[in-house]
A and B are shown apart, each in its own frame.
Chain A
């Protein structure tokens, strides 16, 4: 079983049936989880650890839109190249600067929550675009650029999260 999708018996696509994924995750975990092998031999406990770790990693990947997209692109031979490909469309960069300025100026949790909502809407918009590119048009190279944007936003979201500590 080479792809995370195969592990859960799902067709590889950006759009996933969240309920089906959760069900598959729980069923497999209930077979391989260390809790089932706490009283078993060392060999089984080791195998259990390997499997359960793998299952957790696959689940985490498929639950995250960015990770899921990256995984699909990798399966189709396209590297997102986040570190090396730093070219971004100018309008996107301008928007990022605006958001970061707003973050720097935020003094209260409410301001940060508003910022979080804005970032969330933009991420959802990007995700819909990525779904269209990958699932409908099979344009993996095109999708790579959109995934890079999504990763940018994810970094910003992490910084907003850290900022709460400073304002609370």
Chain B
């Protein structure tokens, strides 16, 4: 008897080649790229064998850009143009940036996301991050010998919508197909869970260069479920450097410093902090631009004292996350430490005391996030992982709300809701014949809008004119698997869909991203047309393969005519994709998508029914 291969919806029954997919940890201090190759997960090093890429971008007047070690080596000489820790500026306004005066950058005062004036012009944090991602993409393509099908890019779990969107925009600029934005603690949990085959409730304490996350997860066979997450997106190792910097200035009684000396001493502060992880004291010496010599020694005890309030700031989020999870410290089986800053002895001690157990340090805290992201990328790209598929259930970290009368924030989607999630609210018109409406969406837990993060203003247009109060506008707030919000609106009595125009408070408008793409082509001497054609062809090929796989698996759900109609669209797209008109390829792709809409719906229904039928059979065993 022949074996019937029962395939899952979304998985091709036909064998396919391994798709090249990577996980990228876009860190505040260092970035990494990793992949799953021949069943094992590894970080991809540069030509000199270094796994970490310092997240520093230096802009030169001639338009050249240096990324990583070369930029790091010369940052003290050229502080205004050497942008470090750009992650702290993603999706943030100038007033959000702590210690702006200590940073020696030339901030451009503009509404929305902060901008930096460099020798190569005004740069958005999105553009700066894109330079880092480009280097990693090129490293991966060189190392793996081909184009990438996609990448999973990690973000702090506590990143809000604006910060996430900025990350996605940066990836687009860098020419990456984002398979998923993955929360860093969740990525670490995957790496840890797969490595140790753990089951139970685990906490992930992730203290990076600029961000802090604490996530509580439930690991069981094949399921990673985030129960609650909390954190501080403006707390990290950089702040510990700042405390040392301030101490040096006080101790050595230094006068106000210029940009170069500030950067030099910040670099020395970081070195001292790292040195103190394994030594009782660190000697800090530096020659300033005016010739003065700084020579001070920082002891471990003093270091702990000056950073005590920072350590204390990590406790509140841990308590809140446990409360939201409905758990106590005794329910947590282990605490996984992630991020270079967790190497500090006072952090290890504080976490150990809080959870009343020794933290788990068996995975390299610098690499674990990239490795987990690579494992997820492998699954999302459609390569079947060796151990079988797993299910990742993540949550939105901050409540989403709408501004109502009196500046109050009314929560629409509560924090720690499993994503994807959608909620609808009904509104009506205020005046006769009113055809438009606007909403202010915010993110945060506080009652006043002014205490929350402004996300965006959504403007609805095209409401059919009616008497005041007669219209029933159903607004659906949808958060996708990346944690990104989209809004749709429909007038319920007429069924007319309103168009939604998004005005992000801290993000880039579509026009901005397009302009940046054009600018980046000029500098890279790339041909925009060539790239658009290439991307259109790659997307078309992906779509054709997916449709062929779907037909192979679920042909039985279609009538003969329906099948023929789809095959015709596939043939049409294949033909157009061989040509040079990228717009025509896009149009043919859209046509194929529309033609398979109904089929996709049926496949999903069938899949769900199979799941339920399978269970009912299993329950008969009882």
Contact = CB atoms under 8 A, between A and B. Distances in A.
A20 B596 CA distance: 34
Interface in B590-622: 592-594, 596-597, 599-601, 603-604, 607-608, 610-612, 614-616, 619
Interface residues of B, number: 59
B13 interface: no
A135 B155 CA distance: 46
> Of A35, A38, A42, which is in contact with the most chain B CB atoms at under 10 Å from its CB?
A38
Contacts of A33: 391-392, 481
Given A23-B615, A27-B614, A53 B422 contact: yes
Contacts of A31: 8-9, 604, 607-608, 610-611
> Of A8, A39, A46, which is in contact with the most chain B CB atoms at under 10 Å from its CB?
A39
B603 A47 contact: yes
A30 interface: yes
B421 interface: yes
B349 interface: no
Interface in B395-410: none
Nearest to A54: B422
Interface of A is mostly: helix
Contact of A29 (B323, B391, B422, B593): B391
Contact of B480 (A23, A32, A34, A36): A34
A52 B619 CA distance: 23
Contacts of A53: 420-422, 478
A60 B222 CA distance: 21
Contact of A47 (B319, B445, B604, B614): B604
A110 interface: no
A162 B420 CA distance: 25
A41 B319 contact: no
> Of B149, B543, B546, B616, which is in contact with the most chain A CB atoms at under 10 Å from its CB?
B546
B391 A43 contact: no
A26 interface: yes
Interface string B11-37: 100000001000000000000000000
Contacts of B480: 34, 49
Contacts of A29: 391, 393
Interface of B: 8-11, 19, 149-150, 179-180, 222-223, 316, 319-320, 323, 376, 379-382, 389, 391-393, 417-422, 445, 447, 478, 480-481, 542-543, 546-547, 550, 592-594, 596-597, 599-601, 603-604, 607-608, 610-612, 614-616, 619
Given A33-B392, A47-B600, 12 more contacts: A30-B611, A31-B604, A34-B480, A39-B381, A41-B600, A43-B597, A43-B600, A47-B601, A48-B10, A48-B604, A164-B323, A168-B316
21 contacts: A23-B615, A27-B614, A32-B604, A32-B608, A34-B480, A34-B481, A37-B10, A38-B150, A38-B179, A39-B382, A41-B546, A41-B600, A42-B543, A44-B600, A46-B597, A47-B601, A53-B420, A53-B478, A60-B417, A60-B418, A168-B319
